[in-house]
């Protein structure tokens, strides 16, 4: 499961990541995603292992999508 098919933090029909994206400018959202990538890569060895790397990948995809690529 990943960014494309997981309803991790849905509140009704709204995903948390979509609410955050809507509240921030494109640059702010990219920065938010990049910060989370760093967090998950930083802690993967000591806490979440492969799951943290998968989460980092989700944030990379979201940041890339905001930059103009496809999610």
Residue 14's DSSP bridge partners are 11
- pTM confidence score: 0.76
Q: Which residue has the higher pLDDT, 4 or 9?
A: 9
pLDDT in tens, 20-54: 999 999 999 999 999 999 999 999 999 989 999 99
Confidence at residue 1, expressed as pLDDT on a 0 to 100 scale? 35
Whether 52 and 38 have beta carbons less than 8 Å apart is answered as no
2 pLDDT higher than 60: no
| Contact partners, residue 17, CB within 8 Å, separation at least 6 | 3, 9, 62
Confidence at residue 10, expressed as pLDDT on a 0 to 100 scale? 63
pLDDT grade for 7, boundaries at 50, 70 and 90: low
């Amino acid at each position: 499961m990943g960014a494309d098919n997981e309803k991790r933090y849905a509140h009704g029909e709204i995903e948390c990541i979509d609410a955050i994206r809507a509240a921030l400018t494109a640059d702010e959202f990219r920065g938010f995603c990049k910060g989370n990538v760093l967090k998950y890569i930083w802690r993967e060895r000591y806490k979440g292992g492969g799951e943290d790397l998968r989460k980092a990948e989700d944030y990379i995809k979201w940041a890339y999508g905001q930059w103009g690529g496809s999610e």
